[in-house]
Amino acid sequence: MSTGTLDARFAATLAQDAYRLKDDITRKIVLFEHKDRFEVEEELKGKTGAFIVLKSSHIMGACAFGIKQYENQAFVILKGTASGFDALTDLNAGITRSNSGGKVHQGFQYTFESFLPQLKAFQTELAKRNKIQVVHCIGHSLGGALATLAADWLNSNTSVPVKLYTFGSPRVGFPYFASDLTNRVTADNVYRVYHKTDPVPMVPTWPFTHVPDTGTDYLLNSGLALLPWEYHKMENYISSVSGGSTASLEWPTLKALRPPELLEKSVENWLKSDGPVSLCLNTARVLDAALMWVVKKIIHAGVAVLVGVGTTTFTILDRLAYLMHKAYDFTKDLGYWVMRLIIRMARALGIVVSETATLSVSFIRMIFTRLHHNVSELVRKAAQVVS
């Protein structure tokens, strides 16, 4: 663990505490609990201090400066909102440019820009403090997406190193945004934590890409609970990074406990299989991995489709269906894998597709759309646990 890195439990606790910044009363309770960690004395006295609340129509999080153990460290802590999940699952969601120029989810960027004036005020205060060594950007769920955009903005607009900690975050931007931010912040300074059966990190679909796009992320084991979206709850993330105790597991320990990934050969064998498929959260995870596996084969083969910025004439799923159809007609090998992907996706939806069927763009899109609606329902269930 590098100098100035937060332990996993403390980062997770701060992500959870962001949800408690609802009003003056709950905010003061949180501030009192952290009075030995953050500069909050002025705020507790009812005066304006260095603790900056980030808000748009309601409180989205806060910025703070550390004391004692966290002296010379700064914090940006953000939360998700239940209403934000509507944008996350919207098939017509737009694409726009982040402040650093990469393509990102329009809903996330617009929400980020709504509290950017307060973040700029924090940056001004940050510039006055030449001893600050690191800024920690922390968030859960959609707060993780906003923390990612905050880390992107701060890295571009300050000279202070940035570290990013996300828990159960969705994908935020396209490959260039993800790789550019990973390169600038460096993969070692990004701590992406997610449960194996948390549905939120599975969306939005390709071409959205997680940060970091290289190096290590922290995949946590989680069972197939009766209510699998329960693994999106922050208390379950806190429990997982603590190993069930009150102390934090070290980051290298969390890395060592990582459950096995779906190997490429396993994905390939699953696509070839004709066994039954039931649409549960684990199946959604396998389908997500299978889609990415097929997309990589398509891209490596030189098939491309443009995804523009600022237009909703064609949705992401329109473009994905078009890409699959181009690949289906491109070579026999790609055609086989596209067909197998559609067959397995359709089987999960209770639709039987013959190997001899002819795939049209509209049919592929229908399969993607119906699957999207099913996964979106799991995401909406997850939204209820953070509301």
What's the whole-number mean pLDDT along residues 41-51? 61
**Residue 18: what pLDDT?**
92
Percent of the chain with pLDDT over 70: 87
Per the structure, the count of domains in the chain is 2
Percent of the chain with pLDDT over 90: 52
What's the whole-number mean pLDDT along residues 203-216? 86
* Torsion angle of the four alpha carbons 151, 153, 159, 165, in this order, in degrees rounded to the nearest 10: 0
- Is residue 143 assigned to a domain? yes
Whether the predicted pLDDT of 47 surpasses 80: no
What's the whole-number mean pLDDT along residues 292-299? 91
> Do residues 178 and 51 share a domain?
yes
> Do residues 83 and 198 share a domain?
yes
> Do residues 270 and 243 share a domain?
no
Which residue among 210, 231, 256 closes a domain?
256
> Do residues 319 and 177 share a domain?
no
> Do residues 192 and 164 share a domain?
yes
> Do residues 200 and 83 share a domain?
yes
> Do residues 131 and 235 share a domain?
yes
Whether the predicted pLDDT of 186 surpasses 70: yes
Domain containing residue 243: CATH number: 3.40.50.1820
Q: Which of 41, 38, 79, 88 is nearest to 61 (CA)?
A: 79
3-state helix, strand, coil in the chain (%, to 5): 50, 15, 35
- Is residue 2 assigned to a domain? no
> Do residues 239 and 138 share a domain?
yes
* CB-CB contact of 152 with 112 (8 Å): no
> Do residues 245 and 271 share a domain?
no
pLDDT in tens, 138-165: 999 999 999 999 999 999 999 999 999 9
Whether the predicted pLDDT of 33 surpasses 50: yes
> Do residues 214 and 268 share a domain?
no
Q: Which of 319, 315, 283 is nearest to 91 (CA)?
A: 315
Whether the predicted pLDDT of 75 surpasses 90: yes
**Residue 228: what pLDDT?**
64
pTM of the model: 0.90
> Do residues 252 and 281 share a domain?
no
**DSSP string of 138-183, one letter each residue:** EEETHHHHHHHHHHHHHHHH-SS-EEEEEESPPP-B-HHHHHHHHH
Taking each helix axis from N to C terminus, what angle separates 106-114 and 116-128, rounded to the nearest 10 degrees? 60
- Is residue 1 assigned to a domain? no
- How many Cβ atoms sit within 10 Å of the Cβ of residue 314? 15
What's the whole-number mean pLDDT along residues 304-319? 61
> Do residues 104 and 219 share a domain?
yes
What is the domain extent for residue 290?
A: 264-384
**Residue 124: what pLDDT?**
92
Which residue among 256, 276, 308 closes a domain?
256
**Residue 216: what pLDDT?**
81
